Structure 1
Amino acid sequence: MRRTARIGVAALAVTTLALTACGRGDDTTTGDATATAVDTDELSGTVTVWAMGTEGEKLGAFAEAFTEENPDVTIDVTAVPWDAAHDKIATAIAADEVPDVSMIGTTWMGEFASSGGLDPTPPDLIDESTFFEGAWGSTEVGGTSYAVPWYVETRVLYVDTALAEQAGVSPTPATWDDLTAMSKGMQSAGAQWGINLQPGQTGAWQTFLPFAWQAGAEIMNADQTEFTFDTPEFVEALTYYQSFFTDGVAPKELPEGTLEPDFVAGKIGAFQSGPWHIGLLDESGGEGFLDTVTLAPLPAGETQASFIGGSNLAVFKSAENRDAAWAFVQWLSDPEVQADWYAETSDLPAVQSAWESGDLASDERLAVFGEQMTTAQAPPAIPTWEQIANVIDTELEKVCKSGMDPQEAATAIQQQAESIGTGL
């Protein structure tokens, strides 16, 4: 998830509620849980919704279009600060005092679904094939979906086009070798740092994991019962990532808040980030600066991959107005509504067909994110993921800043992950 005012990551506070069925309507088996049918013929009553950040501020007014179509339904949105959201949801599930619907950060899905608090997604109402595969995967826990992807984010390369041309290298590296050549070339052309990559610390796993996936590494086995960090592929990714720091191409320390101005000034040749940096660079660089920047998909190792984040919409097991809640979630998943929501908030749609019209279809920069989204992946949806992520952050910092042997780091991550467990 993006670590801005829109999305923050709180500490784990795993609840231990038993998983119980709703008992409404006809049962449809999905994976290991039971999803019940939804009746959308006669919707009425109030649907209570918790939403965070910008979404919490704008969803109430936006939902008026839904209530115009369903005049007997009221949408009541409560804006919740992201830094309080995790614990608020966990406490609500434990006390059985939940709203009907809530935004759920993608890395929280394993925890809240396994707690028994979320209603399995009804397949009679929601078509999984309409969403980006990586986005839908973020809703699945133990083979069952417990939410619907609302908006998505992924990471691409932001490259100083002029520096790349001056260095005689491509600003759109296709392979790891190309990325190395581009980074070193731009440094030779005058950049202080050829590329900026996060050298550990909070959230660095989001920058690193795409390299692991590109190398062919898997984080867990197919049934998500065992961690698989200590593999040649994962070590290969750590070794390659480390090379940018041992070769002096990427900074081991970058003062907070200097990335954008340093990139604008040509001190940094490239960096990896999400769509929010379009606005940040436009603000930092001024009119016309973005025309000097190339956005490119992340290069491939054995395969191409990036990180997918964003937020999902979940209906709670104890929702008082379940049918109307799911109908509202379905409405928010309509391609035209998703496109309208993007126009309102700049949230990138999770529904693929929403990218086929308007700015989402014509803007070349956004098209890069749409292309990258097709190969973007989510981390395992397990209750303990945030704890595992903290381990990766810590060991990655040792690799990048202290020169720790990548094999030693992979072994350390594996051992600590096994000690933490999956929480399932």
Structure 2
Amino acid sequence: SNVWYEFFNGNYAFYFSGPWNVREFKLRQPPNMSGQWGTMPLPGPNGLGAGIAGGSSLVIFKSSQSKQVAWRLVEYLSRPQVQARFHSIIGDLPPRRSTWHFPGLAEDPLARAFAEQLERVKATPKVLEWERIVQEMRLITEQVVRGGVSEQQAVEQLDQRVDKILAKRRWIQQQVGKGPHAEGVHP
């Protein structure tokens, strides 16, 4: 389904997303909905909940022939003024706390909830398959929301799906443990 259409037609009371979607919501909102919706920090069982730390990284490869130029780009992109401009153009959240004091961010009511949420983030699990697992969570949640699967069935199905996704990783780790670099075996 089209989440923006469903949201603005009142079929969704709320929509879990992040700052990357605010711009899209603004672009797709009907004129009569301007100023009629907002953002909130994630709820938790006993008050405000934790979010997931995400984002992107700026990397300079060790073997790069352009390390100095690349580093200048990283320095430029790390400036609070540049981060504030990125936010105004595409909605990305700035990683530097000092950037949040710029008027465009400090006065943005839709960004405020994300600033609060950033104070309670947790790291995602350190497995390469995390994005695939998140996709499975989305799929099974959709089935619960649409009424085809009970909460208990959803938890059981998700457990089976995640176990299957991680089975390959467990197999690889077992093979590495049997190889020439296994504990106690030195080449």
TM-score by length of 2: 0.70
Is 1:298 aligned with 2:42? yes
Could you say which residue in structure 2 is the equivalent of 1:271?
A: 15
Deviations 1:145-196 (A, max 9, x none): xxxxxxxxxxxxxxxxxxxxxxxxxxxxxxxxxxxxxxxxxxxxxxxxxxxx
Give the aligned partner of residue 29 of structure 2: 285
More helix by share: 2
**Structure with the bigger percentage of strand:** 1
Q: Distance in 1 between matches of 2:11 and 2:166?
A: 41
State the Cα distance separating 1:299 from its structure 2 match.
Answer: 0.8
Indicate the residue corresponding to 1:173 in structure 2: none
C-alpha displacement at 1:359, in angstroms? Answer: 1.1
- 1:310 matches 2:58: no
Partner of 1:377: 122
- Distance in 2 (CA, whole Å) between partners of 1:288 and 1:387 is 37
Q: Secondary structure at the match of 1:279?
A: helix
Aligned to 2:68: 323
Measure, in 2, the Cα distance between the counterparts of 1:332 and 1:320.
Answer: 20
Q: What is the Cα deviation at residue 361 of structure 1? A: 0.7
Task: Return 5+ residue gaps in structure 1 as ranges.
Answer: 1-255
Percent identity reads 27
TM-score, length-scaled by structure 1:
0.34
Alignment of 1:98-177 (within 5 A): none
Equivalent-residue separation in structure 2 for 1:387 and 1:268 (angstroms): 25
| 1:415 CA drift (Å) | 3.1
- What residue in structure 2 maps to residue 421 of structure 1? 169
The answer to whether residue 155 in structure 2 is matched with residue 412 in structure 1 is no
Deviation at 1:365, TM superposition (A): 1.6
* In 2: Cα distance, 1:288 partner to 1:395 partner: 33
> Which structure's relative contact order is higher, taking Cα pairs within 8 Å and 6+ residues apart?
1
SS, match of residue 402 in structure 1: coil
**Distance in 1 separating the partners of 2:98 and 2:122:** 19
Deviations 1:279-318 (A, max 9, x none): 3333333345232113211111256112343322111222
CA shift for structure 1 position 389: 3.9
Q: Counterpart in 2 of 1:402?
A: 149
Q: Answer yes or no: is the 8 Å Cα contact 2:53–2:123 preserved in 1.
A: yes
Shift of residue 319, structure 1, vs aligned partner: 0.8
Structure 1 residue matching 2:39: 3-state secondary structure: strand
AA partner of residue 35 (structure 2)? D
